[in-house]
Amino acid sequence: MIASLGLILLCQLLGEIVVRGIGAPIPGPVVGLIILLVLLQGRDRIGLLRRGPLGDGGVERAASGMLAHLSLLFVPAGVGVVQHLDLVSSHGVAIFVILALSALVTLVVTAVTFIVTGKLLDRWRGTSS
């Protein structure tokens, strides 16, 4: 379990190093997740990777354990909001409007993406058969 958690954190660290090294405008943990995905995909194809923390579902168990306690990560954010209640009270309406608009934009962009992807898939299926 410790080795699996170490591998997950190592992938995150490598992601941070890559992002800072090349100056990419991508969060380091996202690159770390891609590295972990590549390792997990490689595990299925390369026997050498089936040993250690990647073998026997160790990473999956470690990730499930972390996800089971994900709510603990919201405690610092809640404490931060409570510490700055004066800012929330003075800019509360603006914060609410921005949150509502960003949620609406996200919803619209997601819907448009699904519609466009569906049309592209229909077109691709129609030409490939």
> What is the tens place of the pLDDT at every residue in 9-63?
999 999 999 999 999 888 898 999 999 999 888 887 777 777 777 777 788 888 8
> What is the tens place of the pLDDT at every residue in 65-96?
888 888 887 888 888 888 888 888 899 899 89
Predicted model pTM: 0.57
**By the 8 A CB rule, do 8 and 54 touch?**
no
Domain boundaries, the chain: 1-68, 77-129
Residue 98 has pLDDT above 90, yes or no: yes
Which residue, 43, 32, 37, is CA-closest to 9? Answer: 32
